[in-house]
């Protein structure tokens, strides 16, 4: 098992891609801290992992709350004495072009998609540098490398995640800490429900994806979990500052 004895914090692990990533890490022997604002979702992920024979605990918090994040990470560090992996995954999509987007939605997008990643990384980094190793994975999106129609809050924050990943990777490689970014394309999770509503329903999104994605379909969460496992494990030990796009070919065209 490739993550035996490692402690991983996964934010947004109560659902979708975050849950699949948490499960695959636990399946490889990692102890996973399921950090999510939704208690019921977090608890369900923990139960799924434990029922499958893995090890996990819930950390219920809003990652944009600095004090809660600091206290939560400190408690994990105290309890386990180490944090080997941080997957900054929780994020939100607020629709709208420059003039349509709600200004407070724009600010909230930056707080969750960028600033919370920054804060969590800042809080785990002293433990990682002291250990001389550690892995941070930041979830961006194919929207981090693409123009995305009428999505200025989402694309700007997801582009920023990539810039921040590269910057952290450059600054902390000398301490043995690797930092990479994951850019999923269309993954069928509750995350897309607001966009589906905006598009006018399931049928509209299906034809959009069939046309825009060369593989012609959604990804399922297990197809994103495998690249997550690769990026947080020693299988990617010589990789830092990189952007892994897993999008069915959407960014090729
Ligand atoms: N699903 C996709 O198609 C897709 C594509 C590209 C990128 N992403 C990225 O993946 C991430 C989430 O996607 P998903 O499909 O796993 O979503 P999801 O909706 O299935 O799960 C998101 C989880 O994050 C939690 N969360 C939200 N705000 C939080 C906060 N402030 N503090 C703590 N937890 C919070 C939610 O409670 C939920 O459990 C986002 O960063 C998103 O940009 C998703």
Would you identify the CATH topology of the domain 7-186+222-245?
Rossmann fold (3.40.50)
Please report which confidence band the pLDDT of residue 220 belongs to, taking 50, 70 and 90 as the band edges: very high
Q: Are 111 and 160 in contact (CB under 8 A)?
A: no
Q: Which of 10, 11, 16 to mutate to test the pocket of ligand 1 (most atoms within 8 A of CB)?
A: 16
List the residue whose alpha carbon is closest to atom 7 of ligand 1: 141
What pLDDT does 159 receive? 98
Q: What is the pLDDT of residues 85-119, one digit of tens each?
A: 999 999 999 999 999 999 999 999 999 999 999 99
Q: What is the pLDDT of residues 28-40, one digit of tens each?
A: 999 999 999 999 9
Whether the model clears a pTM of 0.85, i.e. scores above it, the answer is yes
Is the pLDDT at 253 greater than 80? The verdict is: no
Catalytic residue among 154, 172, 208, 238: 154
Active site residue 208: no
Cα diameter, the chain = 51
Nearest to residue 43, comparing CAs of 21, 17, 14, 23?
14
**231 C-alpha vs ligand 1 centroid, how far in Å?**
18
**Phi–psi pair at 62, nearest 5 degrees:** -90, 120
- Domain residue limits, the chain: 7-186+222-245
Cβ < 6 A, ligand 1 pocket: 11-12, 14-18, 36-38, 41, 62-64, 89-91, 112, 139, 141, 184, 186-187, 189-192
Is the pLDDT at 171 greater than 90? The verdict is: yes
Q: What is the pLDDT of residues 4-21, one digit of tens each?
A: 999 999 999 999 999 999
Q: Are 129 and 172 in contact (CB under 8 A)?
A: yes
- Tell me the sheet residues that pair with 57: 33
Nearest to residue 21, comparing CAs of 239, 222, 253?
222
List the residue whose alpha carbon is closest to atom 8 of ligand 1: 141
**191 C-alpha vs ligand 1 centroid, how far in Å?**
6
Q: Any idea which of 28-32, 148-152, 234-238 has the lowest mean pLDDT?
A: 148-152
Q: Which of 12, 87, 157 to mutate to test the pocket of ligand 1 (most atoms within 8 A of CB)?
A: 12
Determine the Cα–Cα distance for residues 11 and 24; give it in Å rounded to an integer. Answer: 15
When the pLDDT of each residue in the chain is averaged and rounded to a whole number, the result is 97
Is the pLDDT at 199 greater than 90? The verdict is: no
Nearest to residue 103, comparing CAs of 143, 153, 149?
153
What pLDDT does 194 receive? 80
What pLDDT does 198 receive? 80
Determine the Cα–Cα distance for residues 207 and 195; give it in Å rounded to an integer. Answer: 14
């Amino acid at each position: 098992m490739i993550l035996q004895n490692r402690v991983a914090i996964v934010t947004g692990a109560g659902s979708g891609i975050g849950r699949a990533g948490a499960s695959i890490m636990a399946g490889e022997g990692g102890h996973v801290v399921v950090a999510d604002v939704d208690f019921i979702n977090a608890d369900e992920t923990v139960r799924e992992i434990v029922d499958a024979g893995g090890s996990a605990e819930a950390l219920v918090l809003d990652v944009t709350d600095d004090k809660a994040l600091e206290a939560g990470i400190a408690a994990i560090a105290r309890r386990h004495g180490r944090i080997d992996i941080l997957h900054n995954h929780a994020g939100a999509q607020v629709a709208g072009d420059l003039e349509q987007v709600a200004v407070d939605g724009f600010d909230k997008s930056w707080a969750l998609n960028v600033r919370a990643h920054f804060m969590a990384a800042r809080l785990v980094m002293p433990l990682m540098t002291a250990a001389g190793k550690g892995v941070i994975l930041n979830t961006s999106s194919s929207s981090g490398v693409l123009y995305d129609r009428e999505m200025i809050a989402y694309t700007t924050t997801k582009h920023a995640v990539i810039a921040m990943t590269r910057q952290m990777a450059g600054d902390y490689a000398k301490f043995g800490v690797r930092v990479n970014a994951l850019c999923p394309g269309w993954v069928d999770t509750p995350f897309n429900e607001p966009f589906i509503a905006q598009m006018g329903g399931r049928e509209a999104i299906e034809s959009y994806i069939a046309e825009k994605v060369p593989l012609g379909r959604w990804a399922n969460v297990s197809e994103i979990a495998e690249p997550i496992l690769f990026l947080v494990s020693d299988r990617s030990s010589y990789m830092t500052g990189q952007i892994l796009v897993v999008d069915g070919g959407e960014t090729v065209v």
